[in-house]
Amino acid sequence: MSSSLKNELSSSEFEVEAQDLQLQSELQSKHRLIDVVHGSRLALTILALAAGITVLGVSANGLIVYHETYLPADFYLPLWPSQFDLRPTAALIAGGVVVVVANIVSLFFSKIQALRSLTGAHAITSIAAPAVGFIASLVAMALFYAVNSSSTVDSLQSWTCRWNDIPMTTQPHFGTLCNQSQAGVALAVLLVPLEAIILAAAGYQAVLERRVTKA
């Protein structure tokens, strides 16, 4: 075998090895990027879960206190008006329940190895869960502001915040209920873009994983 042929073969082998190393490096970079996106999505999902639990908790607590302290109109100095709209609170509770369930399911499929190994189910759940959470939070906010805009009928938030400066030693503690209601609404508003970001991250992760699979 001539020296020129040997040099050509050596050069060819070197090029193949260099290409393999480059492909491995690109694949490792993609896996690292997937891990970063996955970790970010999990962190945001946990944040959304915490926000959903808080919205559900403060809204449900307000409804419970209302039912515990409600007196009919014929009682002397009733604490609540005779015409009262609980639909804004019910909308926050319903939205909170859906957000909590959706994010718990998403975390289960992301953290439990037996579920995560189900590639198809995991991919669908990672996108479907934040999509459901986004729709639920958006609908809850739309319903809340739609039915809370009345200037003639009070809601839990409007009534408690109207009397929040009155000191109370027993329930219903209007000041506390007002603060809780405002916090619940603020978190519910925050959930809309938060779930949208989680949905975008899940879609980006799915695209990256598909590229790695095809590579």
| CA 15 – CA 5 distance, rounded (Å) | 15
Burial of 158 (0-12, 13-18, 19+ CB in 10 A): middle
Mean pLDDT of the 73-97 span? 85
Burial letters for 44-54: b for 16+ Cβ neighbours within 10 Å, e otherwise? bbebbbebbbb
Q: Which CA distances in Å does 191 have to 124, 141, 179?
A: 21, 10, 18
Computed over every residue of the chain, the mean pLDDT equals: 84
Distance of CA 141 to the CA centre of its chain: 14
- Specify whether the CB–CB gap between 34 and 212 falls below 8 A: yes
- Asked whether residue 5 carries a pLDDT value surpassing 70, the answer given is no
- Specify whether the CB–CB gap between 48 and 194 falls below 8 A: yes
- Specify whether the CB–CB gap between 180 and 156 falls below 8 A: no
| CA 69 – CA 47 distance, rounded (Å) | 33
194: which strand partners?
A: none
Read off φ and ψ for residue 85, nearest 5 degrees.
Answer: -105, 110
Mean pLDDT of the 102-125 span? 80
Q: What angle do CA 88, 91, 96 make, to 5 degrees?
A: 130
pTM: 0.83
Two structure tokens written together for 14: 């070197």
Mean pLDDT is lowest, of 19-23, 28-32, 171-175, for 19-23
Share of the chain above pLDDT 90, in %: 47
Around Cβ 75, how many Cβ atoms within 10 Å?
Answer: 9
Query: What pLDDT, on a 0 to 100 scale, did the predictor assign at position 16?
Result: 53
